[in-house]
Structure 1
Amino acid sequence: MQNFDLRQAIIQRVQDNSKAELNETITDSVDADERALPGLGVLFEIIWKDSNEALQSSMLNTLFDHLQSDNNSTTASPSY
């Protein structure tokens, strides 16, 4: 049985894409069906590993702020 490496398969699928094609892949995957999430995760991993501490901090701040904003809006108005 052959070992299936999802990470490598995703990288190989987009490796030769142009910037426009990468943008389209990301744009089409955002807010799409959950099957796109592993691919976005692999792409984020690449971005994270190739980012310096300042960029990582900026991404963390963006994520944290977004999650806090979502958390505040969901706790302020219960749906039951």
Structure 2
Amino acid sequence: MNLNLRAAILSNVSNHNAEQLEATIDDALQKGEEKMLPGLGVFFEMLWKESDEQERQEILDTLEQGLKQQK
């Protein structure tokens, strides 16, 4: 079986508006289930690809700060 998980995830949310996307992300974070991680990863990949260098640096700075808070 050849399952393209990325394509399936994108297909499931392709017609979502911003409010629906936010609800999907919030739901994934609140549930904290491991099975939600691939979907969040696809969202992150899309965000990264659509970001310019300044936005990428802001993302990296935010991630760095979040990691420091986890310690």
Give the alignment's TM-score, normalised by structure 2. Answer: 0.90
Q: Which residues of 2 match residues 58-77 of structure 1 at below 5 A? A: 58-71=58-71
How big is the alpha-carbon RMSD for the aligned residues of Structure 1 and Structure 2? 1.1
Percent identity of equivalent pairs = 40
Q: Which one has more relative contact order, counting CA pairs under 8 Å at least 6 apart? A: 2
How far apart, CA to CA, are the structure 1 residues paired with 2:5 and 2:51?
22
- Structure 2: gaps of 5 or more residues: none
The structure with the larger Rg is: 1
Q: Which has the higher helix share?
A: 2
Give the alignment's TM-score, normalised by structure 1. Answer: 0.81
Shift of 1:8: 0.4
- Structure 1: gaps of 5 or more residues: 72-80
Q: Point out 4+ residue stretches in structure 1 off by more than 6 angstroms.
A: none
Q: Which residues of 2 match residues 43-54 of structure 1 at below 5 A? A: 43-54=43-54
